[in-house]
C-alpha cells in the first residue's frame, strides 16, 4: 500500500488546529495543516477601521467559500442567506478567528461538565453531561494559559474554579470607564474583578506587551500582544521540519478507504486547482459550522448520510450565546473607545448554578461585564454604525448628528453573555438549495431563541439597568431584546462528544464514533455550553486531544 503523504492532516489553522498542529509535530509526527485563508503578515495589518470591523477584511471567507443560511424551525423554508457568517464567527488565515478575537479567556466552571446532573432536562432540551470532567481538563487549561499567554488574577475572581497554577501574567490595567462601572457595581454589593485576557500585560516569551492602543477586537494586533495561535503555536510548529502549513487550501471532502478508515482530504486553491492529499490521521478543526458541513458533505459509499452520521447525530444540538448590551450616557467623559477592548471588569454572581433560580423560568445563567464600547473597538465609524438608538432618535439627519456628538465620548455599555441550553429542535444541516459560488451547499442553521432564553434576557436586562442607575447614568437605553437568532455568537454543538454513539458524534477525545482515525476539534464538540467565552476551553480540549493521539500512536493504535 502507498505510504500516505502525511501522518496527520488538519483542516483549519485556527485556535484548535494551531494547537494540534504544534503538539503533534513536536512529537515527531509529520503534520500538514490546510487553511482556506492566506497567511496575513502583521505588516499588512493596520489600525484601519473601515477595512477591518466595517468591511470585515479579516472575515473574507466569502462568498466563494464561506456563508450560511438560516431558518427559525424545521417546518420553515430558508429565510435568510448570508455570504459570510453574521456576528462572531468566521476565521480566515492562520490564527483563524483568534486573529480578530477580543481575548476574553475563561475556564468553564466544573458544574458545566455535569450540566444534566445539575439541571435535569428542560422541555425540548438536549442538555448533556460532558464525557470528561473539569479535573480532566485542568492541566490543559493551565497549558493554554502559559503557552498562549493569559493575564489575570485568580485571587480576585469570585468563585473561580480550582487551579494548579496562578495566571502567568498580572491583569491588564483598567481604564476610567471600567473603574466607573466597577465602582457602581460595588455600591450594589457585587465584587467585580478584572476579566482574564488573552492579551499579554508584560513582555512574555519574546512577545512585547500590549501598548493599550485600543484596536484589539476586529483587528489583528500590530505588535502580537494579543494571544493567538498564529503568534505562538503555529510560529513554533513552523520551526519543525516535519510541519507543513498550506494556505489557500479549501477542503471540501474527507476521503475514506473503508467504513472505519478516513484516508485523506480533497481541497482546492483559489485558482481552482484540486489537490488530493492522504494521511494516517485526519482532524477537522474548521469551526462549528464548517466541521458539521465537512462531515455531511463528505458522504460516500461507506457513509451515505455523511461521515459519523450513522445515527443522524451530525449537526444536532446546535447552541450558542446571546449578547445583551445596555447603554448609559454620563455627565462626564468616559472615552470608552480609548484603550483595548478587553480590560473589563466582570460580575459572576449569576453564572451557572450560583444563584437561586426559583420562579425565574430559566436554567443556567450568564455573566455581566463592563465597560464596553459598541462593536469591536468602538471607534467613530463603528459607533455610528452600531450604537443602539434611543426612542425618538432617527438613524440619520440633524437629530442623529446631535445624538452622536453628545454621546460618543460620554457613554459606555454594560454587557452580558448568556448561556443557551442545547435544544433538540436546533441543528445545522446542508441547505437543499443555497450554494456558495463553487456550487457547494451552504451550511444551514435551524435555530430560534427558546422562551427560557427570553426569560433569562429579562433577568439580566434588569440587573444591567440597575448597575447603570447606580452609576448615575442620565440616560439608559438599548439591549431590551435578545439579539437576532441568525447572529451567531460562539456557535457550539453539532458534533457533540459523548459515551453513547446513538446520541453523540465523537468519543471523549473527539474521535468520530465508528471511524478509527478521524477526529473533530473545536466547540462543535461541546455537549453543553458555559456562560463564559469558549476559546480557552477549545484550546484546552485540543491539548487534551493531542495527548490522546500521541499516546495512541505510540501504542500503534492509529498509525
Minimum distance from residue 291 beta carbon to ligand FAD (Å): 8
216 binds, among ligand FAD, ligand SF4, none (CB under 5 to 8 A by kind): ligand SF4
Find residue 71's DSSP bridge partners: 446
Q: Is 230 in the site for ligand SF4 (CB under 6 A)?
A: no
Q: Is 172 in the site for ligand SF4 (CB under 6 A)?
A: no
211 binds, among ligand FAD, ligand SF4, none (CB under 5 to 8 A by kind): ligand SF4
Q: Are 240 and 32 in contact (CB under 8 A)?
A: no
Cα separation of 341 and 370, whole Å?
Answer: 10
101 binds, among ligand SF4, ligand FAD, none (CB under 5 to 8 A by kind): ligand FAD
Pick one of 285, 326, 347, 364: the residue that binds ligand FAD (CB under 6 A).
285
Give first-to-last CA distance, the chain, whole Å: 13
Pick one of 45, 225, 430, 442: the residue that binds ligand SF4 (CB under 6 A).
225
Q: Is 91 in the site for ligand FAD (CB under 6 A)?
A: yes
Q: Is 290 in the site for ligand FAD (CB under 6 A)?
A: yes
Select the span of 173-181, 233-241, 447-455, 532-540 touching ligand FAD (CB under 6 A). 532-540
Pick one of 116, 158, 188, 223: the residue that binds ligand SF4 (CB under 6 A).
223
Pick one of 86, 306, 478, 522: the residue that binds ligand FAD (CB under 6 A).
522
Question: Residue 186: helix, strand or coil by DSSP?
Answer: helix
Pick one of 6, 70, 82, 92: the residue that binds ligand FAD (CB under 6 A).
92
Q: Are 351 and 112 in contact (CB under 8 A)?
A: no
218 binds, among ligand FAD, ligand SF4, none (CB under 5 to 8 A by kind): ligand FAD
Q: In angstroms, what CA-CA distances link 293 with 50, 232, 249, 287, 289? A: 31, 28, 16, 10, 6
Minimum distance from residue 259 beta carbon to ligand SF4 (Å): 47
Pick one of 60, 215, 318, 427: the residue that binds ligand SF4 (CB under 6 A).
215
Radius of gyration of the chain, Cα coordinates, nearest whole angstrom: 23
- Preceding peptide of 355 cis, ω within 30°: no
From 285, 218, 289, 278, select the one nearest 436 (Cα to Cα).
Answer: 289
Q: Is 14 in the site for ligand FAD (CB under 6 A)?
A: yes
Q: Is 283 in the site for ligand SF4 (CB under 6 A)?
A: no
| % helix, strand, coil for the chain, step of 5 | 25, 20, 50
Q: Is 96 in the site for ligand FAD (CB under 6 A)?
A: yes
Q: Is 419 in the site for ligand FAD (CB under 6 A)?
A: no
Residue 262 has phi, psi (to 5 degrees) of: -85, 140
Q: Is 285 exposed, middle or buried (0-12, 13-18, 19+ CB in 10 A)?
A: buried
Cα separation of 202 and 211, whole Å?
Answer: 10
Q: Is 250 in the site for ligand FAD (CB under 6 A)?
A: yes
Q: Is 340 in the site for ligand SF4 (CB under 6 A)?
A: yes
Residue 459 has phi, psi (to 5 degrees) of: -60, -50
Q: Enter the DSSP assignment of 361.
A: S
Q: Please report which residue ranges of 486-556 form alpha helices under DSSP H.
A: 535-554
What number of other Cβ atoms are within 10 A of residue 263's Cβ? 20
Q: Is 372 in the site for ligand SF4 (CB under 6 A)?
A: no
538 binds, among ligand FAD, ligand SF4, none (CB under 5 to 8 A by kind): ligand FAD
Residue with cell 427558546: 450
Q: Which is nearer to ligand SF4, 57 or 298 (CB)?
A: 57
CA-CA-CA-CA dihedral for 208, 214, 217, 222, to nearest 10: -40
Minimum distance from residue 93 beta carbon to ligand SF4 (Å): 17
Minimum distance from residue 329 beta carbon to ligand FAD (Å): 26
Read off the C-alpha cell for 386. Answer: 452600531
Q: Is 413 in the site for ligand FAD (CB under 6 A)?
A: no
Cα separation of 55 and 49, whole Å?
Answer: 8
What number of other Cβ atoms are within 10 A of residue 302's Cβ? 15
66 alpha-carbon distance from chain centroid: 17
Select the span of 7-15, 179-187, 218-226, 537-545 touching ligand SF4 (CB under 6 A). 218-226
140 binds, among ligand FAD, ligand SF4, none (CB under 5 to 8 A by kind): none
Find residue 366's DSSP bridge partners: 418
Read off the C-alpha cell for 504. Answer: 453523540
Cα separation of 416 and 390, whole Å?
Answer: 19
Cα separation of 515 and 513, whole Å?
Answer: 6
Q: Is 261 exposed, middle or buried (0-12, 13-18, 19+ CB in 10 A)?
A: middle
Q: In angstroms, what CA-CA distances link 320 with 275, 378, 482? A: 34, 24, 13
Pick one of 20, 177, 221, 529: the residue that binds ligand SF4 (CB under 6 A).
221
Q: Is 11 in the site for ligand FAD (CB under 6 A)?
A: yes
Select the span of 32-40, 181-189, 389-397, 408-416 touching ligand FAD (CB under 6 A). 32-40
Q: Is 36 in the site for ligand FAD (CB under 6 A)?
A: yes
Q: Is 534 in the site for ligand FAD (CB under 6 A)?
A: yes
Q: Which is nearer to ligand FAD, 56 or 425 (CB)?
A: 56
Q: Is 443 in the site for ligand FAD (CB under 6 A)?
A: no
Minimum distance from residue 276 beta carbon to ligand FAD (Å): 14
Cα separation of 105 and 244, whole Å?
Answer: 28
415 binds, among ligand FAD, ligand SF4, none (CB under 5 to 8 A by kind): none
Q: Is 52 in the site for ligand SF4 (CB under 6 A)?
A: no
Q: Which is nearer to ligand SF4, 216 or 423 (CB)?
A: 216
Q: Is 541 in the site for ligand FAD (CB under 6 A)?
A: no
Q: Give the binding site for ligand FAD (CB under 6 A).
A: 11-17, 34-37, 61, 88-89, 91-92, 96-98, 100-104, 217-218, 249-251, 285-287, 290, 490, 522-523, 533-535, 538
Q: Give the binding site for ligand SF4 (CB under 6 A).
A: 199, 210-216, 221, 223, 225-226, 340
Amino acid at each position: 500500500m502507498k505510504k500516505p503523504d502525511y501522518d496527520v492532516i488538519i483542516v483549519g489553522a485556527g485556535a484548535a488546529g494551531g494547537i494540534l498542529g504544534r503538539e503533534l509535530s513536536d512529537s515527531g509526527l509529520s503534520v500538514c495543516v490546510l487553511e482556506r485563508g492566506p497567511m496575513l503578515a502583521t505588516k499588512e495589518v493596520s489600525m484601519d477601521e473601515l477595512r477591518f470591523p466595517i468591511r470585515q477584511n479579516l472575515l473574507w471567507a466569502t462568498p466563494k467559500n464561506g456563508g450560511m443560511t438560516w431558518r427559525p424551525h424545521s417546518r420553515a423554508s430558508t429565510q435568510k442567506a448570508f455570504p459570510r457568517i453574521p456576528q462572531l464567527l468566521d476565521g480566515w488565515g492562520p490564527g483563524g478567528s483568534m486573529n480578530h478575537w477580543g481575548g476574553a479567556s475563561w475556564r468553564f466552571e466544573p458544574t458545566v461538565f455535569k450540566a444534566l446532573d445539575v439541571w435535569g432536562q428542560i422541555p425540548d432540551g438536549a442538555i448533556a453531561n460532558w464525557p470528561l470532567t473539569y479535573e480532566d481538563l485542568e492541566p490543559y487549561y493551565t497549558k493554554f494559559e502559559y503557552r498562549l499567554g493569559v493575564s489575570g488574577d485568580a485571587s480576585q475572581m469570585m468563585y473561580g474554579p480550582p487551579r494548579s497554577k496562578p495566571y502567568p501574567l498580572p491583569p491588564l490595567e483598567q481604564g476610567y470607564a471600567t473603574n466607573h462601572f466597577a465602582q457602581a457595581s460595588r455600591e450594589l454589593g457585587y465584587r467585580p474583578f478584572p476579566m482574564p485576557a488573552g492579551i499579554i500585560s508584560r513582555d512574555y516569551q519574546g512577545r512585547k506587551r500590549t501598548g493599550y492602543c485600543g484596536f484589539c477586537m476586529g483587528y489583528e494586533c500590530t505588535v502580537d500582544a494579543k494571544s493567538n495561535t498564529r503568534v505562538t503555536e503555529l510560529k513554533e510548529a513552523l520551526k519543525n521540519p516535519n510541519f507543513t502549513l498550506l494556505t489557500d487550501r479549501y477542503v471540501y471532502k474527507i476521503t475514506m478507504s473503508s467504513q472505519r478508515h478516513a484516508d485523506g482530504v480533497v481541497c482546492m486553491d483559489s485558482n481552482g486547482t484540486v489537490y488530493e492529499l492522504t494521511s494516517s490521521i485526519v482532524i477537522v478543526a474548521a469551526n462549528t459550522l464548517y466541521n458539521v458541513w465537512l462531515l455531511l458533505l463528505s458522504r460516500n459509499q461507506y457513509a451515505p448520510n455523511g461521515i459519523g452520521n450513522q445515527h443522524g447525530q451530525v449537526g444536532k444540538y446546535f447552541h450558542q450565546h446571546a449578547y445583551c448590551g445596555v447603554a448609559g450616557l454620563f455627565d462626564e467623559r468616559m472615552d470608552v473607545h480609548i484603550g483595548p477592548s478587553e480590560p473589563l471588569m466582570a460580575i459572576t454572581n449569576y453564572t451557572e448554578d450560583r444563584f437561586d433560580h426559583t420562579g425565574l423560568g430559566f436554567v443556567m445563567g450568564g455573566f455581566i461585564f463592563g465597560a464596553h464600547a459598541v462593536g469591536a473597538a468602538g471607534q467613530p465609524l463603528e459607533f455610528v454604525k452600531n450604537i443602539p438608538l434611543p426612542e425618538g432618535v432617527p438613524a440619520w439627519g440633524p437629530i442623529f448628528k446631535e445624538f452622536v456628538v453628545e454621546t460618543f465620548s460620554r457613554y459606555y455599555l454594560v454587557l452580558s453573555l448568556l448561556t443557551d441550553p442545547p435544544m433538540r429542535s436546533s441543528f445545522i444541516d446542508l441547505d437543499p438549495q443555497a450554494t456558495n459560488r463553487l456550487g457547494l451547499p451552504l451550511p444551514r442553521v435551524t435555530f430560534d431563541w427558546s422562551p427560557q432564553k427570553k426569560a433569562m434576557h429579562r433577568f439580566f436586562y434588569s440587573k444591567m439597568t440597575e448597575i447603570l442607575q447606580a452609576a448615575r447614568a442620565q440616560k439608559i437605553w438599548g439591549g431590551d431584546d435578545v439579539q437576532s437568532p441568525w447572529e451567531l455568537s460562539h456557535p457550539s454543538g453539532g458534533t457533540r462528544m459523548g459515551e453513547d454513539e446513538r446520541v453523540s458524534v465523537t468519543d471523549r477525545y473527539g474521535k468520530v464514533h465508528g471511524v478509527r482515525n478521524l477526529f473533530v476539534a473545536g466547540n462543535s464538540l461541546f455537549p453543553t455550553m458555559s456562560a463564559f467565552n469558549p476559546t480557552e476551553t477549545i484550546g484546552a480540549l485540543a491539548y487534551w486531544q493531542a495527548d490522546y493521539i500521541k499516546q495512541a500512536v505510540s501504542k500503534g493504535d492509529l498509525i
